Amino acid sequence: MPRRDSGARRKAVRSDHGPRTTDHGPLGGCHERPDARAKVAGSTRYVADLALPGMLHAAAAVSPTAAARLVALDTAAARAVAGVVAVLTAADIPGANLVGVIFPDQPLLVADRVRMVGDRLAVVAARSPEAAWRAAALVEATLEPLPAVHDPVAALAAGAARVHDGGNLVKAFRVARGDTRRARADVVVEAVYHVGGQEHAYLEPQGCLAIPEGRTRITIVASCQCPFYVQQAVARVLGLPLAAVRVEQAPTGGGFGGKEDYPSEPAACAAVLAFATGRPVRFVLPRELDMQGSTKRHAMVIRHRWGASRDGRLRFAEVDTVLDAGAYAGISTVVGERANVSAIGPYHVPNVLVTTRVAYTDNLFGGAFRGFGAPQVTWAAEATIDRLARAVGLDPLEFRRRNVLDDRRRRTCTGQLLPRPVLARACLDRAAELAGWDEFHARERAAGPEREGLGIGLALYGCNLHHGGQHLDRSSAVVIVQADGSVVVRVGLTEIGQGNLTACQTIAAQALGVDPAVVQVWQPDTTTVADSGPTVASRGAHASGMAILDAVRRLRARLDPVAAELLGCRPDQVVLANGRAAIAGEPGRSVEVAAVAAEMAARRIEAAATGWYRSRPRRFDAESGLGAPYESYAVACHVAKVHVDAELGLIRVAEVAAAHDVGRVIHRGALEGQIEGGVVQGVGWGTTERLALERGRLANPSFTDYLIPTAADAPKVTIAVLEGAPSGGPFGAKGIGEPSLIPAAAAVRNAVVAALGVEIDTLPLTPPTVVAALGDAHPFAWVAEEENEDARSAAAPASR
Is the distance from CB of 488 to CB of 551 less than 8 angstroms? no
Torsions phi, psi for 162 (to 5 deg): -90, 130
Residue 580, C-beta contacts closer than 8 angstroms, at least 6 positions apart: 513, 590, 591, 592, 593
Residue 115 known to be catalytic: no
What is the rounded CA–CA span in Å between residue 536 and residue 533?
9
Nearest to 345 by CA among 464, 539, 175: 175
Of 9, 113, 177, 338, catalytic: 338
Torsions phi, psi for 476 (to 5 deg): -120, 150
Residue 204, C-beta contacts closer than 8 angstroms, at least 6 positions apart: 8, 46, 47, 48, 223, 252, 253, 254
Nearest to 302 by CA among 656, 694, 746, 736: 746
Instruction: Look at residue 474 and give its three-state secondary structure.
Output: strand
Q: How would you label 319-339 residue by residue, b for 16+ Cβ within 10 Å and e otherwise?
A: bbbbbbbbbbbbbbbbbbbbb
Q: What distances in angstroms separate CA 420 from CA 342, 403, 724, 725, one per listed residue? A: 20, 17, 9, 7
Across the chain, which distance is largest between two alpha carbons, in Å?
A: 87
DSSP 163-214: SSTT-SEEEEEEEEES-TTT---SEEEEEEEEE--B----SSPSEEEEEEET
Distance, C-alpha 535 to centroid of its chain: 9
**DSSP H helices in 603-661:** none
Residue 288 known to be catalytic: no
Strands 217-222 and 207-213: antiparallel
**DSSP H helices in 574-689:** 593-602, 668-687
Of 265, 738, 749, 800, catalytic: 738
Torsions phi, psi for 110 (to 5 deg): -60, 130
Strands 351-360 and 217-222: unpaired
Which residues are identified as catalytic?
A: 338, 738
